Structure formats: C-alpha cells, structure tokens
Structure 1
Amino acid sequence: MSLRHALLGLLVDRTASGYDLLKLFDTSLVNVWPATQSQVYGELTRLADAGLLEVVGQGPRGRKDYALTDAGLTELRRWLAAPSTEQPRRSDALLRVFFIDVLPPEQRLAYLNHLADQAAGQHAELEKVRDTVDWTEEDSLTVNGALALEFGLRLTTMQEEWARWAAQLISSREDRTVEEGTGEGRI
C-alpha cells in the first residue's frame, strides 16, 4: 500500500482539502497507514502534477480542494486489482524470540510479557475506536473501516495470546530445567 493510493481512495466519493484528508487519516486510516502533514501535502502536489487529482477549489490561506480525476480512478482500480507485492516477512519482535535464550530467564519473561502488554494496549486503542465511531453510516469508509478494524482486533488478540502462551512455555521449561539441575536454564 502507498500513501498515494490511500489518498486516491479517500477522494473517491468526495472532494477534500489536505486538512480534511489529514482528519480522515486520523479517524480512519491511522492504524493501517499513518501519515504526517508534510507527507500528505507533498503527495497531493505530486498526484496533482501527475494528473491523478485536480484542484477544484481554492479558499483562504491557500486551502485547495482536490478531486479525483478519471486517470486517478483508473490508477486506484489498477492498484486494487493487482496482486499485492508486499511480503511482510521481517519482524524485529520475532527475530528477538529466535535468540531469546541468550537472556537470563527473568528477562526472557519480561520481554514476552512486554509483547503481550503491547498487544493488549493496541487492542484497547482499537476498542476505543470501535466504541466511538458511528458504524451505522453506509458509506464505504465506514463499512470497509469496520472490516479493517475487526482485522486489527483479531490480530492484536492473537498477538497477546501468543506472547502469554510463549511466556508460559518458557517459564515451564525453565522450571523443569532448574528442577533437573541441568544448568543455567538455557532452553
């Protein structure tokens, strides 16, 4: 996914200024694809220069309202229909798990419990979104946003459960190793 395509998608059913788009990011895409003000405004200029957006209005203080062009809609459809090339195979957290036995037992558990707490915190933030958004709207951002939100809720639940399970497994192995007197508890 790219910021370019996120902006094109947000402009499918509406015109909007950069400020409006930032607000939409903060209420709908922040947990999927966060963007800063400078990124959004810079990309809007590039999209307009490429003919994928057009300025349809100007207001005070240089405010510009953007609309999707036919070329922009074609590009968005091309991107949506193309197979995703993104292969998220890197995970700093899981790389650390591969070598976690280098740490002393209490640090192993602390790390895994931190991962569980982090996932629980992310889950709580998503629950706040779920509980504060009016999901009765029938527009595509609301309907599809609910789908993405559910993915995030399920993913963070799984991440927390996995980290707690891993901590329990390491703890029980550590207990067995200590009982058997087989060394320092390295797994």
Structure 2
Amino acid sequence: MSLRHALLGLLEDGPASGYDLTARFERSLQKYVWTGRQSHIYPELKRLADGDLIAVTEEGPRGRRTYAITDAGRAELRDWLLSPPGPRAIRDEHVLRMSLLSVLDLPQARELVLHHLEEADQVTVELRALADAADSEAHPRGRLRFGRLAIEYGVHQYQAQQRWAHWALEQLDRAETADPHERQPSET
C-alpha cells in the first residue's frame, strides 16, 4: 500500500484539506492500518495534484487548500485496488518481542504477555467504539464507507491477539508447573 492510494481513498470519501486528511489519518488509519505523517502528506498531495489525480477545489486563508479526487484519481485508485498486492512487508515490534520471550524468565515473560493482552483488550474496545460511531452516522455509502470494513478487520485482528495471549499464558503456566527450578536468564 502507498500513501498515495490511502490519500486517494480518503478523498474518495469526500473533499478535504491537508489538515483534514492528516486528522483523518490520525483518527482512522494511523494506529491500525497505515502511517501518514503531515510531513509526507503535503508533498504527496502536491504530486497527486500535479498528476491530475486530485484537484484543488477551494483555496482559503493561509494557503489552505481543499482537494477532491478526480476521475483519473478514481481510476488510479480502482486500478490499484484490483491489482495483485506486492509482497507483504511486515515489521511488527510486538510480534518480534513475543518471538523472543524465551530470553526472559517465566515471570517476566508472563508480565510481557499480560501487557500485550491488556493492550489488545484496550484497542479492541477503541475499535468497537469507532465501529459503533461509524454505524450510527448517516453516510451515502452506508456502513460500507471508507474504513468501516477495515475497522472490523482490526477488531478481528486484535481479538486474535487476545486469543493468542490467553494461549501463551497457558503455555507459560504449564512451563512453570513443569519446571519448578525455572531457568534464570544468562548474565551478560
């Protein structure tokens, strides 16, 4: 996925300024789907406008511009959506930490898994609130508007993390019961 396509998708949901798009990113994408920083959004908006994929529909005070997606932008977005995705680049610090739990003693590993579970619980509640808000707001596309399906994907993803954390805690409990002389981490 690219910032370019995320911005086109956000603009498909309605015209917006760079400031509005940054806020939409922070509210609906950044924590759960894709990171878009303001320092990257504005230059990408210029490239999209230069490529006639979006158009400035309004100019306001202090250089504020409102952008709207063009027909060419919609075609680009649809072409991208229908093309096969590239290789998935995964960089998940949480999963990396979980894969290295054996470095810790059992109580430390348990604490880390519990923290992971608490975070998954919290994010699931946040995503459910976003879903409820999205479902209650009137929108021309109804529930299938931009991001609604992704919210539900996120809910399922964090629920999977919750199930994994419960399973991992059971494994740690079994390891502690099986080995009363739990392994101490090596001194460095």
TM range (shorter): 0.7 to 0.9
Work out which of the residue numbers 161, 165, 168 in structure 2 matches 1:166: 168
Query: Aligned in 2, Cα 1:80/1:104: closer, same or farther, shift over 3 Å?
Result: same
Structure 2 residue aligned with 1:155 = 157
In the alignment, is residue 4 of structure 1 matched against residue 12 of structure 2? no
Aligned to 1:25: 25
Say whether 1:129 aligns with 2:130: yes
Query: Where do 1:37-56 residues align within 5 Å?
Result: 37-56=38-57
Structure 2: runs of 5+ lacking an equivalent: none
Counterpart code for 1:70: D
Q: Distance in 2 between matches of 1:94 and 1:134?
A: 31
RMSD, matched Cα: 2.4
Aligned pairs for 1:2-151 (under 5 A) are 2-12=2-12, 14-30=14-30, 31-140=32-141, 142-144=143-145, 145-151=147-153
Are the counterparts in 1 of residues 134 and 148 from structure 2 also a CA contact under 8 Å? Answer: no
Shift of 1:172: 1.4
CA distance in 2, matches of 1:141, 1:20: 21
Asked if the contact 1:16/1:66 (under 8 Å) is kept, the reply is yes
Q: Structure 2 vs 1, CA of residues 98 and 3 (structure 1 numbering), >3 Å: closer, same or farther?
A: closer
The answer (yes or no) to whether the contact 1:28–1:141 under 8 Å persists in 2 is no
Q: 1:24 to 1:89 in 2, by over 3 A?
A: closer
- Which consecutive residues of structure 1, in runs of 5 or more, have no partner in the other structure? none
TM-score (norm. length: structure 1)? 0.82
Is the radius of gyration larger for structure 1 or structure 2? 1
Query: d(CA) in 1 for partners of 2:90 and 2:135?
Result: 35
Worse-superposed segment, 130-139 or 2-11: 130-139
Shift of 1:134: 4.8
- The sequence identity of aligned pairs, in percent, is 41
Taking the aligned partners of 1:26 and 1:35, their CA distance within structure 2 comes to 8
**Equivalent residue in structure 2 for 1:184, among 171, 182, 187:** 182
Q: Which amino acid aligns with 1:20?
A: D
Q: Distance in 1 between matches of 2:142 and 2:157?
A: 20
1:13–1:173 Cα change, 3 Å: closer
What is the CA-CA distance between 1:4 and the residue it aligns to?
0.7
Deviation sequence 1:62-90 (CA, Å, 0-9, x none): 12122222322221111111111142444
TM-score between both structures, scaled by the size of structure 2? 0.82
Asked which structure has the greater RCO (Cα within 8 Å, sep 6+), the reply is 2
Could you say if the C-alpha distance between residues 114 and 13 of structure 1 is closer, same or farther in structure 2, counting changes exceeding 3 Å? closer
Contact 1:137–1:143 (CA<8 Å) still a contact in 2? no
Kindly provide the amino acid, as one letter, of the partner of residue 22 in structure 2.
Answer: L
Residues in 1 aligned to 2:23 and 2:143: alpha-carbon distance in whole angstroms:
14
